[in-house]
Amino acid sequence: MDQSTPKQSVFRRRSLNKKNPQSWPTFSWVTGNIHRFCAFGLGSGLLRPASGTWGTLLAWLLWWPLQQVFSNELLMGLFLLFAFVYGSYCCHYTAKELRTDDHGGIVWDEFVAFWLVLFLIAPMSLVWQLIAFVLFRFFDIVKPPPIRYFDERIKNGFGVMWDDLIASAYTLFVIAILMRLFGT
């Protein structure tokens, strides 16, 4: 490639927010590296609007086969720990490549946090799982204290993952209250 030919950008300009436009990666860029593909929730983070909701939805759908693969609690617990540690790395790696702290398309944090919720409330009916889904998305979007505090201050892959784990703790707390009030 000669010097006069400009490099083709791997980003599409996001023009919905004129005050703070965010570059949005292409599918080929995301799938070009396993860390990016993971960070973007197996590609679900490219769906807009509401990338986090799409990512959480895919995580929910993948929960059923994951339960079959990791059929006992110890294996599932180890898998979730690995998913958190690797997720911290791949989210940091991908955000760094995108020159941001936490790109909206990075949704692996939603995957791991929602899998943790499903793991801890299992076996629950689809209705309770739906309630957990809605609560988790609410807390992840609204970011009540201390979620917002950590989201604003920890600027690395661990921070990307950590605020969603706190959202999952809020979700589990509310689920526990609702189960106490209404039963399973």
pLDDT in tens, 92-151: 999 999 998 889 999 999 999 999 999 999 888 999 999 999 999 999 999 999 988 888
Core vs surface per residue 121-139: b (16+ CB within 10 A) or e: beebeeebbebbbebbbeb
Identify the pLDDT of residue 22.
Answer: 59
> CA–CA separation, 93 vs 131, rounded Å?
33
Q: Please answer whether residues 88 and 160 qualify as being in contact, where contact means their C-beta atoms are separated by less than 8 angstroms.
A: yes
The DSSP-derived string for 43-60 is GGGGSSS-HHHHHHHHHH
Q: Please answer whether residues 162 and 150 qualify as being in contact, where contact means their C-beta atoms are separated by less than 8 angstroms.
A: yes
Q: Phi, psi at residue 162, to the nearest 5°?
A: -65, -45
Identify the pLDDT of residue 181.
Answer: 93
Q: What percent of the chain has pLDDT over 90?
A: 73
Per-residue pLDDT of 23-52, as tens digits, reads: 789 999 999 999 999 999 999 999 999 999
> CA–CA separation, 116 vs 1, rounded Å?
47
Question: 13 or 139: whose pLDDT is higher?
Answer: 139
> CA–CA separation, 35 vs 162, rounded Å?
18
Identify the pLDDT of residue 24.
Answer: 85
Prediction pTM value: 0.85
For the chain, the structural domain boundaries read 11-182
